[in-house]
């Protein structure tokens, strides 16, 4: 996970200054490229796992942004 966070810090500047629609479109494109690199029969499971992770991280990051421990 640390390696992923290091990459996130490197790409954040590319998202800064763009509205949420553009940011979402970039994330959708990147996700679709990631999924396309897997076998079709794996894609639904991978997308479901990714959505679960996103929901968990959203809860955690929302608490951090609001200054809660």
What pLDDT is attached to residue 67?
86
Residue among 58, 50, 5 at smallest CA distance from 30: 50
What's the residue count for the chain?
Answer: 69
Selection from 30, 33, 37 nearest residue 8 by Cα: 30
| pLDDT attached to residue 69 | 56
Say what the pLDDT of residue 44 is: 97
Q: Up-side HSE of residue 16: CA atoms within 13 Å toward CB? A: 6
DSSP collapsed to 3 states, 6-59: HHHHHHHHHHCCCCHHHHHHHHHHHHHHHHHCCCHHHHHHHHHHHHHHHHHHHH
Mean pLDDT of each 10-residue bin along the chain, 69 residues long: 94 97 97 97 98 95 85
């Amino acid at each position: 996970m640390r390696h992923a966070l290091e990459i996130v810090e490197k790409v954040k500047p590319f998202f800064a200054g763009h509205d949420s629609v553009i940011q979402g479109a970039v994330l959708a494109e990147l996700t679709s490229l990631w999924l396309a690199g897997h076998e079709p029969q794996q894609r639904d499971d991978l997308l479901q796992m990714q959505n679960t992770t996103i929901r968990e991280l959203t809860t955690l990051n929302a608490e951090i942004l609001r200054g809660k421990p």
